[in-house]
Amino acid sequence: MVEARDPSERTHALIVAAGVGARAGLDLPKQFALINGKPVVRHSVERFLSHPAIDDVWIVVGQGQQEQLDEALAPISGYSVVIGGATRQQSVYNGLKAIRAGGGAKNILVHDAARPFIPDRVIDDLLGRLMSEPSAIPILPSVDTMVQLADEQLDRTVDRNSLWRVQTPQAFDFAKLMAAHDRFAADQNASDDAQIFKAAGHVVTVVDGDECLKKYTLPADFNGDRRQDMRQTRTGMGYDVHRLASGEDLWLGGVKIDHDKGLVGHSDADVLLHALCDALLGAVAAGDIGDHFPPSDPQWRGADSTRFVKHAASLIAQKGGIIHNVDMTVICEAPKIKPHRETIRRNVAEILSIGIDRVSIKATTTERLGFTGREEGIAAQAIATISLEEN
Ligand SMILES: Nc1ccn([C@@H]2O[C@H](COP(=O)(O)OP(=O)(O)OP(=O)(O)O)[C@@H](O)[C@H]2O)c(=O)n1
Ligand SMILES: C[C@](O)(CO)[C@H](O)COP(=O)(O)O
């Protein structure tokens, strides 16, 4: 049995979502508005919950918003909810106190729900830095000329080389950040946690941020029509074959199928999920399954192929992409796919976090011709249609 890790050794993500979103001017708090078909807050919750280095996810919401949050996240579970305060700093502090009451943590990533798209690379860089430093934050350079205004007129140009844009997630040694917040709890003016950490005398290091981490703040950020104009459609296709053998399990679309033979090969040899993974990777020109999960690497032996598809979907999400639909064909003589079709569709829809009406599964035989006709193997094809924001 695997021992549960001591709470004080865990890495937590704390997502603050208790603001009112005044600048966005929407008729609901911006964290519940839809971006790419999902509530803003859902994007970062999904990303943290699926990241292997994150043990626990905490979400801070406004008083009375717990039900709205649960609706925005359904059917996801496995997160904890805390009620926020009047300022971002108070909301973070409430979250930290709840984590302390739950046994504490080793590391904490504090993140704005208003930044829905988090590249895994940024999480990895931040956590990598925490192995030797007490904190790290993502930053981006200022690329425009920066000025100060006076009476709404140009006063002076500021040296942009000394100005950097600070993003979240911001990563900290939990105990040190907790103590810093305890110390500065009466000062409600800090716009981020790095300021509080630095004020407490600690070093704040920096890693490369990412434009994907843009904070959705102003009405134009939520202007769906404009965003739709700026999207481009992409498609990707995938094809895979695995050999059938006695004494093996048969996995298709992440569902175990009762059959006298199973498939042999990479991971759990789920030929359908492998074709789907390649279709998704193809849509963003990101290589193929073997590039990301080499068959020669022993860690993938017997692995659940769900993980590969989730990885491919996360690469699309990191680019602000939406998966519109996937269509798959299983090519085999046996087993019959129809009795399992709805279960597989449901499972794939859940893996991709899209509606089941966007997932199609078909099956065909090859009229007893070729290797599929002789029941030596099963082949699968998949096609995925996605859209990306133009850049
Ligand atoms: N009292 C607050 C204020 C802000 N936040 C969160 O802090 C993040 C960054 O804040 P910001 O983008 O400023 O959000 P709002 O405060 O909601 O926006 P506005 O300032 O336009 O009202 C957001 O995810 C927001 O929900 C929070 O948890 N509690
Ligand atoms: C934490 C933050 O996102 C870092 O850039 C930012 O400070 C939040 O600022 P806001 O004033 O709450 O928009």
CA of 188 to the centre of ligand 1 (A): 14
CA of 353 to the centre of ligand 2 (A): 28
Closest listed residue to residue 59, CA positions, set 40, 34, 38: 40
Which amino acids bring their CB within 6 angstroms of ligand 2? 88, 112, 166-168, 191-192, 215
Residue 374 annotated as binding site: yes
Section 381-385 average pLDDT: 98
d(Cα 104, Cα 6) in Å, to the nearest integer? 9
d(Cα 159, Cα 140) in Å, to the nearest integer? 15
Q: What pLDDT sits at residue 75?
A: 87
Confidence of residue 227 (pLDDT cuts 50, 70, 90): low
Section 94-104 average pLDDT: 97
For tokens 């007893």, what's the residue? 368
Q: What pLDDT sits at residue 96?
A: 98
Q: Return the percentage of the chain with pLDDT > 90, whole number.
A: 85
Domain borders along the chain are 7-228, 231-389
CA of 16 to the centre of ligand 2 (A): 11
DSSP per-residue codes, 228-256: HHTEEEEEEEEEEEEEEEET--EEETTEE
Q: Provide the CATH number for the domain formed by 231-389 in this structure.
A: 3.30.1330.50
pLDDT digits (tens, 9 = 90+) for 27-81: 999 999 998 778 999 999 999 998 989 999 999 999 999 999 999 999 889 999 9
Nearest atom of ligand 1 to the alpha carbon of 215 = 12
Phi/psi class of residue 6: alpha, beta or left (left: φ > 0; alpha: ψ in -120 to 50)? Answer: beta
Cross-strand bridge partners of residue 127: none
Residue 366 annotated as binding site: yes
Residue 316 annotated as binding site: no
ipTM at complex level: 0.97
| Whether domain 7-228 has CATH 3.20.20.80 | no
- Which protein residue has the closest C-alpha to ligand 1 atom 9? 112
CA of 150 to the centre of ligand 2 (A): 23
Contacts for 8 with CB less than 8 Å, ≥ 6 apart: 103, 104, 105, 106
Confidence of residue 391 (pLDDT cuts 50, 70, 90): low
pLDDT digits (tens, 9 = 90+) for 249-288: 999 999 999 999 999 999 999 999 999 999 999 999 999 9
Q: What pLDDT sits at residue 319?
A: 84
CA of 114 to the centre of ligand 1 (A): 7
Residue of 88, 166, 188 to test ligand 1 pocket, by largest number of atoms within 8 Å of CB: 88
Confidence of residue 1 (pLDDT cuts 50, 70, 90): very low
With H, G, I as helix, E, B as strand and everything else as coil, classify residue 151: coil
Residue 10 annotated as binding site: no
**Cα distances (Å, whole numbers) of residue 357 to 57, 73, 146, 373:** 29, 19, 48, 30
d(Cα 42, Cα 118) in Å, to the nearest integer? 12
Is it the case that residue 2 has pLDDT exceeding 50?
no
Pairing state between β 170-173 and 107-112: antiparallel
Q: What pLDDT sits at residue 224?
A: 66
Q: What is the pTM of this model?
A: 0.72
Q: What pLDDT sits at residue 61?
A: 98
Section 168-174 average pLDDT: 98
Nearest ligand for residue 169 CA: 2
Q: What pLDDT sits at residue 282?
A: 98
Residue of 30, 117, 167, 168 to test ligand 2 pocket, by largest number of atoms within 8 Å of CB: 168
Which amino acids bring their CB within 6 angstroms of ligand 1? 16-24, 31, 60, 84-88, 91, 112-114, 215, 217
- Which protein residue has the closest C-alpha to ligand 2 atom 10? 191
The type of residue at 389 is E
Q: What pLDDT sits at residue 225?
A: 47
With H, G, I as helix, E, B as strand and everything else as coil, classify residue 213: helix
d(Cα 132, Cα 22) in Å, to the nearest integer? 39
